[in-house]
Amino acid sequence: MPAAALAALIRERQPCVVLTGAGVSTESGIPDFRSDSGIWADVDPFEVASIQAFRRNPERVWSFYRERIHLLREAEPNAAHQALAELERRGLVAALVTQNIDTLHSRAGSRDVIEVHGSIRSAVCLQCLSTEAADDVLAQLEDSPTPICIHCGDVLKPGVTLFGELLPPGAIERATDLPRPAGSVLFVGSSLEVWPVPGCRSRPAHSPSSTAARLLSTTARCSRSTQAPAQHSPPRSKPSADGARVDCTRCLAECYD
């Protein structure tokens, strides 16, 4: 699908809902997860990013996330984040659902952002459910291997959805409801391997003429999405490579040129 065709699709098939994954942030210097050089190529996610690992060894989980949080906070929104924010400002994007925890969409100016996997903004106490801002958490981690809840003394958990945890109820409800009345659904930078995004790939029930388009990364292959939702597959699986190669940022920019 040429960039101009995608731009026309977004303009004509309104409202447009966008769902993004790790690929949208790679040009900000943030590695993806499932490519050969991705984060899970050398690290077992179930040892450092699962709720079972956190309960078993919170020090190891926080050792991983301490470095992740520093990396993500140092990253800056790239042209794709900025283009999506501009599309929303111009009324061409109704809402944005993201699997990313890096907060770059909000920092780029997107307003209606649904973070289905949480974010690095804070940590949460599983005992009393209080939250602690990331600045305070990082300050604690300078002197301790784990941050402690100031209210009950329990170990805080990163404010992201770990493997084995339920997704935030409000966020997942919006993520699954938004595509239904949409005229188009644009997948940007997602391998469509981790739920709930794969569940949004089927044709919205109330929009028989709706279209789904897929951009795997900021310079990626784009195709209309037709295959059935993938199951939650092993983290090392690779995204499919169907369709014509197209520059995601250029596609998005052409929507308001």
Residue the block writes with tokens 């250029």: 250
Q: Phi and psi dihedrals of 186, rounded to 5?
A: -110, 120
Asked if residue 46 lies in contact with residue 52, where contact means CB atoms within 8 angstroms, the answer is: yes
For the record, the structure tokens of 161 come out as: 């959805």
Asked if residue 95 lies in contact with residue 84, where contact means CB atoms within 8 angstroms, the answer is: no
Which DSSP symbol is given to 16? E
The catalytic position among 70, 81, 105, 117 is 117
Q: How many CB atoms lie within 10 A of CB 211?
A: 20
Active site residue 81: no
* Rounded alpha-carbon distances, angstroms, from residue 4 to 14, 86, 99, 183: 16, 17, 27, 18
3-class DSSP state of 94: coil
Distance of CA 194 to the CA centre of its chain: 10
Strand order in the sheet with 156-160: 131-133, 118-125, 156-160
Question: Which residues does the annotation mark as catalytic?
Answer: 117
